């Protein structure tokens, strides 16, 4: 695996593969790799001839300086894990390579970026995500880019921008990888104390409770949200939102008459965690299923 730092190096590394017609896969990450990231990489390895992993802690998507400062960073470990998972290229640019002096363009997605994370973290969060993802796609020009359903709203924002800007890339999504007890893997989990980690289990338990209630026939969205919130409260989590919404548009619902997306954001101490799950009677295909990971080529 080669570690590259500049866009020029990345372009010249990929040019021969591209002219041979090789399929290039991109897995964008902020590092602190865990099995969730490795699932994206494995999928890319299985589907592409050349796999690029990017490692860039994007300052423009962090609202709080403290969150950015303490974001876990260990490039040597990430490089080992990425190489073991079969990556061909680790693209780890410095901030000045991505945002050189005079940088003045941002990508803003309206609609799906606005509620939930957009409300809690502010419009600058998804503006930062959309801008850096657009840049990484333009730098790498992959055939396929891989994203986790763990960040469900981010996935919708990225699908929207790829479609709206006619970017010639297929967006593939990968199911959330969890610990055996249900906690979704996240780079932020390592900031949790033992006691906080126990409390964090309230999040997957709340998702499971709502899913069970829906499976048992509960159709009131209010009742399902309330039962999830109760579990979060029992675990002494500071709830930011519990929202059971349309899985494609994130529009609020009142009745569960098709699959819906239950999203949770909660704080344990000063660590903010998010998770989500599809809840409902089934049947409807959603943007969160890979079968409809529509090619925009």
Active site residues: 37
Residue 39 interacting with ligand AMP (CB under 6 A): yes
> Does 185 interact with ligand AMP (rule: CB under 6 A)?
yes
**Binding piece for ligand AMP, criterion CB under 6 A, among 7-15, 77-85, 145-153, 231-239:** 145-153
276 part of the interface to ligand AMP, by CB under 6 A: no
Among 40, 52, 136, 262, binds ligand AMP (CB under 6 A): 40
Stretch that binds ligand AMP, among 29-37, 66-74, 89-97, 120-128 (CB under 6 A): 29-37
Q: Select from 34-42, 85-93, 132-140, 260-268 the region that touches ligand AMP (CB under 6 A).
A: 34-42
Minimum gap (Å) between residue 215 Cβ and ligand AMP: 23
Using rule CB under 6 A, residue 144 touches ligand AMP? no
Q: How far is the CB of 171 from ligand AMP (least distance, A)?
A: 10
Q: Is the dihedral of CA 106, 112, 115, 116 positive or negative?
A: negative
* Interface pick for ligand AMP out of 134, 176, 225, 276 (rule CB under 6 A): 176
SS3 per residue for the chain: CEEECCHHHHHHHHHHHHHHCCCEEEEEECCCCCHHHHHHHHHHHHHCCEEEEEECCCHHHCCCHHHHHCCCCCHHHHHHHHHHCCCCEEECCCHHHHCCCCCCCCCCCCCCCCCCHHHHHCHHHHHHHHHHHHHHHHHHCCCEEEEEHHHHHHHHHHHHHHHHCCCCCEEEEECCCECCCCCECCHHHHHCCHHHHHHHCHHHHHHHHHHHHHHCCCCEHHHHHHHHHHHHHHCCCEEEEEEEECCCCCCECCECCCCEEEEEEEEECCEEEEEEEEECCCCCCCCCCHHHCCECC
Q: Which of 286, 280, 282, 285 is nearest to 214 (CA)?
A: 280
Phi, psi of 285 (to 5 degrees): -80, 145
Residue among 78, 143, 151, 259 that touches ligand AMP (CB under 6 A): 151
**Binder to ligand AMP among 113, 147, 159, 266 (CB under 6 A)?**
147
Considering the complex, state which of residue 4 and residue 185 has its C-beta at the smaller distance from ligand AMP: 185
199: contact with ligand AMP by CB under 6 A: no
Q: Which of 121, 125, 150, 229 is the binder for ligand AMP (CB under 6 A)?
A: 150
Question: Does 268 interact with ligand AMP (rule: CB under 6 A)?
Answer: no
The reply on whether position 278 binds ligand AMP by CB under 6 A is no
**Contact by Cβ (8 Å): 149, 159:** no
The answer to the question of residue 213 lying near ligand AMP (CB under 6 A) is: no
Nearer to ligand AMP, 187 or 225 (CB): 187
277 interacts with ligand AMP by CB under 6 A: no
Residues at the contact surface with ligand AMP, assessed by CB under 6 A? 29-30, 36-37, 39-40, 147-148, 150-151, 174, 176-177, 184-187
């Amino acid at each position: 695996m080669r570690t590259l730092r500049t866009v020029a190096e990345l372009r010249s590394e990929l040019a021969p593969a591209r002219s041979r017609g090789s399929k290039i896969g991109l897995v964008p990450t902020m590092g602190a790799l865990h099995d969730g990231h490795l699932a994206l990489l494995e999928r890319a390895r299985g589907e592409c001839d050349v796999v690029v992993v990017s490692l860039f802690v994007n300052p423009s998507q962090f609202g709080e300086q403290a969150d950015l400062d303490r974001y876990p960073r260990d490039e040597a470990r990430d490089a080992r894990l990425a190489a073991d998972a079969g990556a061909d290229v680790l693209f780890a640019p410095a901030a000045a390579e991505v945002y050189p002096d005079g940088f003045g363009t941002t990508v803003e997605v309206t609609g799906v970026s606005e509620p939930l994370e957009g409300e809690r973290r502010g419009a600058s969060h998804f503006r930062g995500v959309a801008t850096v993802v657009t840049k990484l796609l333009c730098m790498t020009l992959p055939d396929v880019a891989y994203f986790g359903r763990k960040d469900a709203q981010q996935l919708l924002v990225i699908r929207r921008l790829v479609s709206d800007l006619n970017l010639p890339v297929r967006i593939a999504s990968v199911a959330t990888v969890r610990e055996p007890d249900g906690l979704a893997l996240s780079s932020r989990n390592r900031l949790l104390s033992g006691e906080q980690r126990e409390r964090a289990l309230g999040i997957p338990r709340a998702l499971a409770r709502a899913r069970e209630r829906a499976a048992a026939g509960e159709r009131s969205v209010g009742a399902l949200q309330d039962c999830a919130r109760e579990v979060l409260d029992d675990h002494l989590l500071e709830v930011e939102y519990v929202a059971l919404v349309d899985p494609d548009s994130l529009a609020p619902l009142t009745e569960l008459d098709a699959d819906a997306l239950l999203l949770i954001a909660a704080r344990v101490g000063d660590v903010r965690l998010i998770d989500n799950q599809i809840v409902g009677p089934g049947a409807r295909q959603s943007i969160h299923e890979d079968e409809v990971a529509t090619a925009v080529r």
